Amino acid sequence: MNKSLIVSYVTIVYGLEQLFNYANLSILRPQMMEGNMWLNDTIGVVPKNSWSIDPFGYSATMAYLLRRMGFHNMLIQRTHYELKKELAMNKNLEYLWRQNWDIDETTDIFVHMMPFYSYDIPHTCGPEPAICCQFDFARMRSFSYESCPWRFDPVETNANNVQERAMKLLDQYRKKSTLYRTNTLLIPLGDDFRYVSTEEAEAQFRNYEKLFDYINSNPHLKAEVKFGTLEDYFSTLRDEAERINYTRPGELVSSELPGFPTLSGDFFTYADRNQDYWSGYYVSRPYFKAVDRVLEQTLRASEILSSFVLGYCQKLQCVKLPISFSHKLTAARRNLALFQHHDGVTGTAKDHVVVDYGTRMHTSLQDLQLFMSRAVEVLLGDIHDRSDPTLLSHFEPVQERSKYDVQPVYKVLNPHGGKAHSVVLFNPLEQTRDEIVMVVVSNPDVSVLNSNGSCLRSQISPEWQYVSGEKVSTGQHRLYWRASVPALGLETYYVATGYDDCAKATPAVVKAFTTAGQFPCPEPYVCSKLEGKTVEMKNSYHSLSFDVRHGLLQTVTRNKDGEHTDVGEEIGMYRSHGSGAYLFKPIGEAQSIVEEGGYFILSEGPLVQEAHSLPKTQWHKSPISHSTRIYSCGDSIQDMLIEKEYHVELVGHVFNDKELIVRFKTDIDNQGVFYSDLNGFQMSRRQTYDKIPLQGNYYPMPSLAFLQDSLGNRFSVHSKQSLGAASLKNGWLEIMLDRRLTQDDGRGLGQGVVDNRPMNVIFHLLRESNVSALPKTHSLLTLQPSLLSHRVGAHLNYPMHAFVSKKAQEKSFKLAQQTFAPLTSPLPCDVHVVNLKAPQPLKFHHAEAVEARFALLLQRRGWDASFCRRGGLNCTTIGEEPVNLFYMFKDLAVLDVKATSLNLLHDDPEMLGYLEQIGDVAQEGNVLISPMDIQAYKLDLQPPSSQEE
């Protein structure tokens, strides 16, 4: 061995990963900002090194976010064992991680990948765990940890054995060093649940100190070994890399740190040994994955509303509302962050821990909905009202959950005697929103009015439920109407009875097929029998064909050009042996479970058409029922999509060791390639390989997956929650919905996963055709969603929040204001407000006048320019034109604008990799963001001086 120096840092790290870990199955979350600011406020530390050893695969989005937060180094562990082997052979385990769209090298971050099976001491000192375990001194007999499984336990280091022990340890260090380029080596020393006593920590330190002293006192060993931190390691390595050029001929290097290769992409799907692919956790406990998404979007909406209350009304009586709720907003951020742990959102925690996660999220959801109900009232009322704004609101959410583990239910409106319920809608998106909305009413004789008192067209449809395997009406009705709500704003509607000048809601026409005998027709609907084997449902954009006897979607035809697409919906089930919370190990392929028969009900109205299916299966109680909806909103985004809602109940022993899927068998020639998203932020190309098992071809699908052929025909599925997806045969897109496993898969959980809850999974399907064909090399590219697809995903994952008056009021009743429109104009179609928040509302009145009290995070989405630029959307601008922050808000002055990092702790734009022109923002207010970038700004918001008087 030719190395003259090995600097080995023995790093004791425990309990910190959660602060720095970003869950791989989530859209952009607030927890890193919360954790980083807490560290800075509490102990004065601004982190710049990421330690993330236990997530099961890694997303490139994590690397991007860390870089934009001012981090320069990260350490990772769990990547596919064959990949580790390949990187180790070429000494590429340390590299610069670059985003695949980045041509300016502004996203590069240095990565150290640990080389062996695990992060525990037997797998960190070198390649031979039987030897390394002998240097885990907490396994000596005086402690309660298990002994080494290789039957050679550690012994106390003393003068008689120190030479032999030190040489054996140093030999492992030297062998490990051959896998890396530099003479600086990292040896972590720790494990889960370690250092719980000072005696244990002292045993490790005492023994290693003797070993280090021996090595360091013998120059002929040509090694220096010492204790250090992660920062010590990275700074020493960077110093060495600046002195010695480790670049290889023809290697693409980075200005961030020369001497190492640059790599792009992600690390899914993870396998730790044999054919054990960790693709099961993509779907485990999907109910809680859905709640996680709901809490995230509710928290974002609450922080935006809190900012508007603080910004528009800074007098004491108004500020009191967000300040009084600030501790609950903080608790919500932390409860969401807690669930983002790699054994939380993944569904890989013990049952009692899941209950704790669920209870915490449920509590925060209730707190946030209470706050939003009051904030809506304040923003629509006299914001200078001196009454206590923290009192209970006259509004309540349209949907509420009674417990942490049940589906939300709609509040049933019952206006009568000429009275009306006011319904306030909050649009959390940055463009005006036109879409069909829904509430549940008990009385079908209702009308809908807008805030001006004008009558609106509305529709009622029966609400269905399943009782003893039959589909029957609940006796209540779904009321639909078209709503238009300003960007980041509020709009009021009225659901009323006794308005003779207004037409009542139009009842849908119901058609039914059932093999169970007579179908009970609810009042006041007209029902008829469905004849024939197929039936069509259409709006201005689509015609959908269904197989009536199986209740499944067959084809989609685009009405404007007659273009026909096979969809071939199929519902199937895998049997498994050895699958657990982490692993997916199916026995063969999934088999269809739908038989001929069951219920199929078509509900047709002027605004919404819906096909309900309760399929017949071999089980008395079917594990799934589903609905397909299309909308007639009038040339809106909603008209262009197809909504699928699956009600899943994989409950009971009959479904043990089974995994439920839906599969769309399209006629798109995707040639074994499909695309799924990472964190709702970027797409990743997925290739299906015959040489690896089925489970290795499953990939995470947090929010989107699509197929595309060489002519640019694309089929996309947007999801409202994180799941797993695959394209196992040409033209197929398969998504797993739920899984129930009785066995532990040996990865540390110690139990199966059989606590399934009834749940709803919602997809938005989108069929698009390209303007021009892609180049022949398209299969090597990472494709992006179209602009339309981004908007469809945003509408699904950032739904409107609806609040209704607790009591019906006289029809002459009107709120002080019916509309709240805070933006001067909608933002460009590809610019997204990640968040608008007051990071420290408790310090709002204590901050100096010049200190910015708000933070605005903007993202410019990357989109596929080969698709129509506007995609049929009613938007006037895209992000190629700058956004001026000074004129962004109506009736609010924007002051003290300063670019900052995504954790709000760094104010050096050049260090963060922002565009050079960003420095002009403070003077001119213009923000120009590169596609795919997220940028953060500190600013202050002040109402005009006339409002403060």
| Amino acid at position 333, single letter | R
Q: Output the six-digit token pair for 301.
A: 């909406």
Q: Please report how the helices 286-312 and 316-324 are oriented relative to each other, as an axis angle in degrees rounded to 10.
A: 160
Q: What is the spatial order of strands in the sheet that 7-11 belongs to?
A: 184-188, 7-11, 224-227
How many C-beta atoms lie closer than 10 Å to residue 795's C-beta? 20
How far apart are the C-alpha atoms of 154 and 195, rounded to whole Å?
Answer: 17
How far apart are the C-alpha atoms of 788 and 777, rounded to whole Å?
Answer: 24
How far apart are the C-alpha atoms of 222 and 224, rounded to whole Å?
Answer: 7
User: Computed over its alpha carbons, how large is the radius of gyration of the chain?
Assistant: 29
Distances (CA, A) of 443 to 58, 413, 474, 523: 52, 8, 12, 11
| Amino acid at position 721, single letter | Q
- Asked whether the beta carbons of 831 and 858 are under 8 A apart, the reply is yes
Closest by alpha carbon to 855, among 867, 865, 841, 866?
A: 841
DSSP reduced 3-state for 419: strand
How big is the CA angle at 342 (ends 77 and 759), to the nearest 5 degrees? 145
How far apart are the C-alpha atoms of 141 and 147, rounded to whole Å?
Answer: 8
DSSP state of 586: B
Distances (CA, A) of 407 to 613, 622, 856: 20, 18, 33
| φ, ψ (nearest 5 deg) of residue 316 | -55, -45
- Asked whether the beta carbons of 257 and 238 are under 8 A apart, the reply is yes
- Tokens 């994989």 belong to 650
- Asked whether the beta carbons of 906 and 870 are under 8 A apart, the reply is no
Q: How crowded is the C-beta side of 270, counted as CA atoms within 13 Å?
A: 23
54 is annotated as an active-site residue? yes
Q: How crowded is the C-beta side of 737, counted as CA atoms within 13 Å?
A: 28
The DSSP bridge partners found for residue 482 are 436
- Tokens 């089930």 belong to 573
Residues 6+ apart with CB under 8 A from 879: 828, 830, 831, 860, 928, 929, 931
Q: How crowded is the C-beta side of 943, counted as CA atoms within 13 Å?
A: 17
> Which DSSP helix (H) or strand (E) runs through 375?
helix 351-380
Q: 650-656: long-range contacts at Cβ-Cβ below 8 A with a sequence spacing of 24 or more?
A: 650/623, 650/738, 650/739, 650/740, 650/756, 651/623, 651/756, 651/757, 651/758, 652/621, 654/619, 655/619, 655/623, 655/740, 655/756, 656/740, 656/741, 656/742, 656/754
How many C-beta atoms lie closer than 10 Å to residue 531's C-beta? 9
- Tokens 């799934």 belong to 624
Q: Output the six-digit token pair for 803.
A: 């609040």
How far apart are the C-alpha atoms of 62 and 234, rounded to whole Å?
Answer: 19
How big is the CA angle at 794 (ends 788 and 799), to the nearest 5 degrees? 135
How far apart are the C-alpha atoms of 876 and 79, rounded to whole Å?
Answer: 44
- Catalytic residue (one of 54, 136, 709, 864): 54
Q: How far is CA 572 from the centre of its chain?
A: 26
The beta strands (E) that lie in 181-287 are given as 184-188, 224-227, 262-263, 271-273, 276-277
How far apart are the C-alpha atoms of 895 and 921, rounded to whole Å?
Answer: 11
Active site residues: 54
